[in-house]
Amino acid sequence: MQKILIDGGRRLSGEVKVSGAKNSALPLLMASILVPGEHVLRNVPDLVDVRTTLKLLGVLGVDSEMKRGRVRLSSQEISCFEAPYDLVRTMRASVLCLGPLVGRYGRARVSLPGGCAIGARPVDQHLKGLERLGAKVTLANGYIEATARRLRGATIVLDIPTVTGTENLMTAAVLARGTTILRNVAREPEVVQLAEVLNSMGARIQGAGTEALEIEGVDDLKPMACRVIPDRIEAGTLMLAAAMTRGDVLVTGVSPQHMSALLGKLKDVGVQVSEQDGGLRVVASDRPRPVDIETHPHPGFPTDMQAQFMALMALAEGTSVISERIFENRFMHVSELKRMGARIKVDGGRAIVRGVRGLSAAPVMATDLRASASLVLAGLVAKGRTEVRRVYHLDRGYERLDKKLRKLGARIRRAKMSPPRTIK
Ligand code: EPU
């Protein structure tokens, strides 16, 4: 197992390129189940979650090859319909194979994802939607079992605008007989990209990016060729690294239109952000001003940036309130940030952050993907050497973050964890 060591206090400067979006790549890869043939995806980030998805596709009978961001998938008709527990438990997004399997083959057996570090995260909306489309859904022995002849279009109103739920139902409905209306859907850029790519494969989806989708089912699709959109969360994390170290960094390969909530908050805290050479230049010279944030579905402030923004607010000149409205348990970074000298008090779904002048290094433990990123950010400014343990969380969703930060001047490296000492 590895850890990350950071000697804090270096101002970041230079240029850094953002990778493709994890949360776009995963549903796109799963969409290859919808049609046998040769698919090509470009700008795919090399992440543990992407590798897990390719492994799952391999189990189902889709072969893959990944080289420098280009993934080639080649599939025949699928003959295995099961996403086993051992894969699903390492990555909840495995549930994204459910929609394409039921939509194309009328059969799926997918392990129930269960809870995870950031909350219970049920999939009831995915299942309710599939039932509305005519699938018979049962839960047995920890597995979701869904069968259908051919799905038929229906009107479905989601209780919550769930991201992967919208993606699952969209991929299920594209091959259904008749028209499906999905209401109260997620509007995240990753959902929009999935709709656009499905349309380029021959699907008929209207309304992506609004709160309702109209999907006219088609009889067949053709394989996909697409380029994954930039990762807005990685971009935001790098921008906060620049802001926290009072640096001057050009973040390239970004889509600013996907990041308006974060860009607005950066302006409020006094960080200068300007569009330059097709990227976003971030310059900061003072302590940030405090601002309150509340996470919401897109286009609101993303929950996936909450932990990182809290690291910035830990240094603000005053008190800010951070409210988490999407997941019930996404404050696990708080106790670790406090070990580094942050002054934060959690009160239900709110964290009250009293800014301090500086943080101090400490050994800290990553608990989930975005929490790990917030600890790395804190380590960049903390006095002394911070040791971030359990970095496998980071590798699930950031492509070589340590390398990118090093290129900007950070003193950051990986080391092997030494085995625990036995106490005699
Ligand atoms: N929910 C339900 N029932 C459902 C589905 C969701 O109650 O059937 C609840 C969840 O428990 C949560 C809320 O609805 O409280 C929103 O969850 P959502 O379903 O939108 O989350 P997700 O689809 O499981 C995706 C991203 C997450 C990101 C969230 C919110 C992927 C692969 N994952 O998860 O990304 O935080 O949307 O934007 O797209 C990450 O990248 O670190 C990450 C966790």
Q: Is 263 exposed, middle or buried (0-12, 13-18, 19+ CB in 10 A)?
A: middle
Nearest CA residue ID for atom 36, ligand 1:
304
Band of the pLDDT at 332, cuts 50, 70, 90?
Answer: very high
Question: Lowest-confidence range among 1-5, 246-250, 303-307?
Answer: 1-5
Q: How many CB atoms lie within 10 A of CB 219?
A: 8
pLDDT in tens, 210-226: 999 999 999 999 999 99
pLDDT at 421 over 70: no
Atom of ligand 1 nearest to the CA of 26: 32
Are the C-beta atoms of 315 and 358 separated by less than 8 Å? yes
pTM: 0.97
pLDDT band at 424; cut points 50, 70, 90: low
pLDDT value of residue 79: 84
Q: Please write the tens of the pLDDT for every residue from 123-158.
A: 999 999 999 999 999 999 999 999 999 999 999 999
What is the per-residue pLDDT for 73? 97
Place of tokens 């509340």: 294
Closest ligand 1 atom number to CA of residue 368:
42
User: Does residue 366 surpass a pLDDT of 90?
Assistant: no
Of 373, 320, 370, 372, the closest CA to residue 350 belongs to: 320
Number of Cβ within a 10 Å radius of residue 80: 12
Q: How much is the average pLDDT of 309-316?
A: 98
Average pLDDT score over the chain: 96
* pLDDT band at residue 115 using 50, 70 and 90 as cut-offs: low
Q: Taking the mean position of all CA atoms in its chain, how far away is CA 299?
A: 15
**Range 14-31 average pLDDT:** 98
What 3-state class would DSSP assign to 183?
Answer: strand
Cα–Cα distance measured from residue 121 to residue 113, given in angstroms and rounded to the nearest whole number: 8
Taking the C-alpha atoms of residue 306 and residue 322, their distance in angstroms, rounded to an integer, is 8
DSSP bridge pairs for 75: 37, 62
For the annotated catalytic residues, the residue numbers are: 116
- Which of 164, 191, 237, 296 best tests ligand 1's pocket when mutated (most atoms within 8 Å of CB)? 164
Does residue 45 sit in helix, strand or coil? coil
Residue 417's pLDDT band (cuts 50, 70, 90): confident
Say how far apart CA 272 and CA 150 lie, in whole Å: 53
At residue 423, the pLDDT reads 56
* CA nearest ligand 1 atom 24, residue: 164
Q: What's the CA gap between 341 and 364, in Å, rounded?
A: 12
**Per-residue pLDDT at 198:** 98
Residue 118 — very low, low, confident or very high, per pLDDT cuts 50/70/90?
A: confident
Q: How far is the CA of 109 from the centre of ligand 1 (A)?
A: 21
CA dihedral of residues 313, 315, 320, 326 (deg, nearest 10): 20
CB 57 within 8 A of CB 51: no
Q: Are 19 and 254 in contact (CB under 8 A)?
A: no
Distance 52 CA to ligand 1 centre (A): 18
Binding pocket residue ranges, ligand 1, CB within 6 Å: 23, 26, 93, 119, 121-126, 160, 162-165, 186, 303-304, 326-327, 369-370, 397
Cβ contacts of residue 243 below 8 Å, gap of 6+?
266, 269, 271, 282, 284, 288, 312
* Residue of minimum CA distance from atom 11 in ligand 1: 121
Amino acid code (one letter) for 348:
G
Ligand 1 atom closest to Cα of 161? 20
Q: Three-state SS for 302?
A: coil
pLDDT tier at 1 (50, 70, 90 boundaries)?
A: confident
* Nearest residue (CA) to ligand 1, atom 33: 23
pLDDT given for residue 420 in this prediction: 65
Atom of ligand 1 nearest to the CA of 119: 11
Give, for ligand 1, the residue of 110, 306, 326, 393 to mutate: max count of ligand atoms closer than 8 Å to Cβ: 326
Q: Which of 23, 137, 167 to mutate to test the pocket of ligand 1 (most atoms within 8 A of CB)?
A: 23
